[in-house]
Amino acid sequence: MRLLTEFNITWIDFFALVFYFVMWTGYVMFAARRGKTVPSLHSTMDRFRREWMVRMIDRDNRMVDVNVIRNITRSSQFFASTTMLVLGALIALMGYVQQALDVVSGLPFTVQGSQRLLEIKILLLVLIFVYAFFKFSWAIRQLNFCSILVGAAPRQPKENPEQYASHINRLACITGYAGVNYNSGLRAYYFALAAMAWFLHPWLMIAATAWVVYVLHHREFRSRTLRALVEEDTSPTPRS
């Protein structure tokens, strides 16, 4: 109670913040567990990653594989650099809290909050994007490790394919780990959008959090893209 009073946090703000973190962590745990029993984008792509590595071992010229890893790495690099720009803007905003409070207070349907509460909201966004940066940068390093492993992989002899099964498993696992970290960074961006709704109203933050979880679940487990990856013979419409 004293902490809430000191930071001028109302009960609805506190409830919205707790709901936000419970939904985020809960969805991460749910997606990881459900992905082991039903097809998901990540588990399905893991199967294709392993198939990719099996075919890579059998190739003499692996420039195609190196280019694929390079293209995947560029996506993580783009988001990592964008995250740094966002963090710079948020840190700069900390020096103009009063001006930002005046702007937010002038918007319709907003709850009048204190300067301390607005600082907490900005700090929440800073923490989210710091988390996203660590995820994207770690994915970049893991993909760099994959490039080295691709270069170190010997060509598989036709008479003894089991000899290089461990190398295939190692490459598939590391690319899968990179995919998990990249996916976690993207989720942070989605939930950052929900956190931005807190600047307007705590109930809007609750609604935005529930909407983000719905969108993530739909794209991970029920999207047309997943059906196109899982089905053997399909002619999907040109929509995501």
pLDDT in tens, 112-153: 666 778 788 889 999 999 999 999 999 999 999 998 888 887
Which pLDDT band holds residue 157 (cuts at 50, 70, 90)? Answer: low
Q: CB-hemisphere CA count at 13 Å for 76?
A: 26
Helix (H, G, I), strand (E, B) or coil at 41: helix
Model confidence at 160: pLDDT above 70: no
Model confidence at 80: pLDDT above 70: yes
Residues 50, 168: contact at Cβ < 8 Å?
Answer: yes
Model confidence at 234: pLDDT above 50: no
Model confidence at 28: pLDDT above 90: yes
This prediction has a pTM of 0.85
Q: CB-hemisphere CA count at 13 Å for 15?
A: 9
